[in-house]
Amino acid sequence: MASTGGDDAALAPFFEALRALYSGSDSRTKEQANQYLEQFQKSEQAWSVTYTVLSSGTASAEAKVFAAQTLRSKIVYDMHQLAPGPRLQLRDSILGLLATYKAGPKVIVTQLCVALASLALQLLDWENPVQDVLTAVGSSPDSASLVLEFLKVLPEEMSDLKKISLSDEELRTRTGAVLEQNAMQILNLLVMYAQSPQVPAASQPYIFECLNSWIREIPISAIVASPLLDLTFVALTNPELFDAATDAICSLIRETRDVYESAESVPPLYAKVIALRPLIMQSKDDSDAFRNLTRIFAEAGEAWHMLIARSPAEYRPLVEAIAECTAFDDDLEVVQYTFYFWYILKQMIVLERYQDARLELQDVFRKLVDIMIQHLHYPYGDDDSNLFENDKEQEDKFRSFRHEMGDVLKDCCGVVGAANALQMAYDKVNVCLQAQAAGEKVAWQDVEAPLFSMRTMAREVDLAETSVLPNIMNMLVHLPEHPKIRYAATLVLGRYTEWTAKHPEYLTFQLNYITGGFYLKDLDVLSAAAQALMHFCRDCSQHLMDSVGQLHEFYEKVAPEIDLDSLYDITDGVAHIVAGQPVDKVYEALRLFCEPIARRILAAASVPADEKACRRIADEIELLDTFARLVRPDGDADPSFQFWTEVWPMLSTVLDNKADSVFISERSCKLMRTLMSSHKQHFVPLLQPVAEKLVLCFDKTHHGCYLWASGIFVREFGTEFMDASVQDAVWQFGHRQCMSGFRMISAHKFSDIPDIIEDLFRLLENMLTNFPYIFLSSDICKPALDAGLTALNLEKTEPLFAVLDFFHDLFSFGFETPPVSRFSADGGADKATNTVPIEVQQAVKALIMTNGLPITTGIFSGLIYSFPRECLADASGVMLVILRLTGADAVQWISATIDLLPAGSITQDEKVKFLTSISAHLQASDHNRVRSQLQDFVNWYTRRNITPRTTLRGIANHENLKFNFA
């Protein structure tokens, strides 16, 4: 692409901007230079300027690299700026530049190769890009690095199809012409390069990197039958080629996962892999080599696990080799590569049809139990508080990794039997105890690791097991006293509470051991004791029903002394005991535990309190919520609700005095939510005072939690199962809260109150769900729509989810079938056919027709500029509903919205192509394709036009939208 005289005028500011960017200029100058260069990259002038710079003998290295990057970017995103003739000229220019930069620098060669690969995909009348590149730069050994670089990136660029605006048919045809038709030629070329002694050593890794890129295009059988297979495995002996050869071998193995289709290719590959087994021991001191070998063996095991299950004796050497890799103790991250293999192999061989494999491999899995327990050991050291030498990241990684190793132990239980695996762990602890009894010094790590393994295997153990667990239970309470050991033993007891419930003779001494942990001064032990006690109360409640008095005494004694999380765990446990009481004793048991809590709350709320005191009050309310959540009605009987009616005046007084505290308000609303959800019909006598309190507190504080609780109120009591008078009262309450919410948000910037926006729209969603037809004709429908349009400018996930859910359900009432099946009794729904009345469908469509353009603009604005990634599917779902309901009108709104995008960001041809595709799929009722077309368009547009420094945050006419409510 030749330079023109007009380019000279662009070169001076271009070079000046680059100098400012890469020199010691001040930050403002650099920012201005960066903005100029971003705009330059999008300009048509950049095509010829980049060629001029790359062809220059005097331009700086930075300028040439930037020019190469710009050229690559423009081919990906700005090909619409070039007519067909200049596109062919561009191809010839890049081929010439490749010949110029044959010797490097590599960064420029890579950018040119990526640019040419992308051009090869888009330039449909370029018949044979591969052959033309070989012709331009030659296939001789001295050109190998350049050829291989291009060939490596070619499949990679063609697999990233969302970059390019081509139809599916064009993409299939093009990739077939460029890749599939050249596959065997590439294989022969790679063989030639690999066998040629003239290929420079620096170019040899590219051979295997290129092979790795083309493996999906070249038939595996052809690669296996070629000399390249031997050459790739031989390359493992060369440290310079080890990484590239490993990647290629792993990809080869991965492509044989369909073992039936690859039946002829697996045996020679398997033979090559097993021949590597001696290298495992030889590489113990070379962590990088060992890592690569582990990757190869693990990949082979995963790919061929079905063959292992079918022919265990033949493939046993592979399983043993993977076990050797798993035993590596210098780098646990390497060991982790094997974990998925053990999981999928276990999934196969526990099946009855593969019992021969289970028997054949049991001894390997028994060794794996030993290996995992050994890996579970904490580091040894003199200072138990600093075993990781102040490396917090390493400590957290080890703790997390232990749980993954626990999953492997569970897999072992499935093969060798949980009782056998437990016996192995028990024997290790027993050996330590015997050694200690003989006067030997035993490290606590040697006891703690097998205890941890017992804990992880708990869910695999049969509740009827009696051969090992009795010995373990008797042993646990007699272990040497050490905080780490007591912590581990306590958690083990907590994991086996279901077994203890079936064997209550072990209950008393276990509980004594656990409760003893509350009187020690170790926070970890105390936390473990609280968790264990919670599980005992949950699972063994039938054996503790007569112990309410003793539990209450213990609860009141330890509650003031323990941390909050432990207190929550204990409260959860004792609440299960209260819930399990006979119906005639529930009230008294609940009152016994909760009345002291309620008195403390009321006393604290009656005096001035700072933030810390308010948090303590909120924490006490959380304890009441735990009881309310777990002590629920038993059928028609609800003996606990009498107590909550007695508590309500206390809670009401607390809110009168302390509702300004967001902590107290949120916990109080959570308690109300729990009571409403748990007691339903029994809660009706409290509806009026609770509704009034929610309204008054929101008006007073504007805390969003009151809108959230109001949404629960409407959800639970606005259903058709309630009396008409109750439904009417619920509608009036919800309407009043929505109006208050509209007034409140109208006075604020939405970006300052995202949580309140979310809570308000969850309330609106519940109003729509329970009163759909009343809602659609009410005076809250239009302001809800207007508020939602403004809220689309938000950039936070949760409020956007709430708004988009509301829009989706609101507009879906335009279909014959409603989006929800619950209706108010007087809503007019035809319950026999569960259809939306025609007049309601028409009203919804009229609502969309009136607001269609701003809705479409708002959704596209968010999709392109501001929505978090998690919201994209929901937003495109709303747009799909609008398209289905209004068809051509919605396509016109999309067209008008595209016209609002920045000039030059999309061509008329691209716009027409997109709209035509949408219309065609819509007419064919292919709604999945419509949705994917929307998402593909957004992805393509943003990749072309949006950068991290883009200052636009929305489409014109929408980004500054305001909500006004009178």
Q: Place 54 in a pLDDT band, splitting at 50, 70 and 90.
A: very high
Mean pLDDT of 761-775: 95
Mean pLDDT of 618-623: 97
The pTM of the full predicted model, rounded to 2 decimals, is: 0.85
Say how far apart CA 23 and CA 25 lie, in whole Å.
Answer: 6
Say how far apart CA 305 and CA 312 lie, in whole Å.
Answer: 10
Among 82-91, 254-263, 294-303, 564-573, name the one with the lowest average pLDDT. Answer: 82-91
Kindly list the distances between the CA atom of residue 170 and the CA atoms of 165, 247, 700, 936, in Å, as whole numbers in the listed order: 10, 31, 62, 16
Say how far apart CA 666 and CA 705 lie, in whole Å.
Answer: 6
Whose CA is closest to 651, among 682, 615, 620?
A: 620
Average pLDDT in the chain? 91
Q: What is the pLDDT of residue 7?
A: 54
Kindly list the distances between the CA atom of residue 594 and the CA atoms of 536, 589, 628, 634, 685, in Å, as whole numbers in the listed order: 21, 9, 10, 19, 21
Q: Is the pLDDT of residue 4 over 70?
A: no
What CA dihedral angle connects 656, 662, 668 and 671, to 10 degrees?
170
Q: Is the pLDDT of residue 885 over 70?
A: yes
Among 118-122, 129-133, 136-140, name the one with the lowest average pLDDT. Answer: 136-140
Say how far apart CA 952 and CA 696 lie, in whole Å.
Answer: 41
Mean pLDDT of 21-48: 86
Q: Give the per-residue SS3 of 299-350.
A: HHHHHCHHHHHHCHHHHHHHHHHHHHHHCCCCCHHHHHCCHHHHHHHHHHHC
Q: Place 8 in a pLDDT band, splitting at 50, 70 and 90.
A: low
What percentage of the chain exceeds 90 in pLDDT? 73
Say how far apart CA 326 and CA 335 lie, in whole Å.
Answer: 5
In total, the chain counts a number of residues equal to 966
Greater confidence (290 vs 136) lies with 290
Residues 6+ apart with CB under 8 A from 25: 33
Among 352-366, 623-637, 683-697, name the one with the lowest average pLDDT. Answer: 623-637
Mean pLDDT of 840-850: 95
Q: Is the pLDDT of residue 858 over 60?
A: yes
Q: Place 829 in a pLDDT band, splitting at 50, 70 and 90.
A: very low
Mean pLDDT of 258-270: 95
Q: What is the pLDDT of residue 767?
A: 96
Token pair belonging to 39: 């705009």
Q: What is the pLDDT of residue 9?
A: 64
CB-CB contact of 274 with 317 (8 Å) = yes
Whose CA is closest to 499, among 558, 418, 432?
A: 418
Say which amino acid occupies 954.
G
pLDDT in tens, 60-92: 889 999 999 999 988 888 888 888 888 889 999
What CA dihedral angle connects 628, 633, 639 and 645, to 10 degrees?
50
Burial class for 162, CB neighbours closer than 10 Å (0-12, 13-18, 19+): exposed
Inter-helix orientation angle 27-42/46-55, to 10° = 110
- Residue 674's SS3 state is helix
Q: What is the pLDDT of residue 160?
A: 67
Q: Is the pLDDT of residue 168 over 80?
A: no
Q: Is the pLDDT of residue 830 over 50?
A: no
At the second CATH level, the architecture of 420-546 is Up-down Bundle (1.20)
CB-CB contact of 219 with 258 (8 Å) = no
In the chain, domain spans? 256-381+391-416, 420-546, 758-966
pLDDT in tens, 327-381: 998 888 899 999 999 999 999 999 999 999 999 999 999 999 999 999 999 998 8
Say which amino acid occupies 847.
L
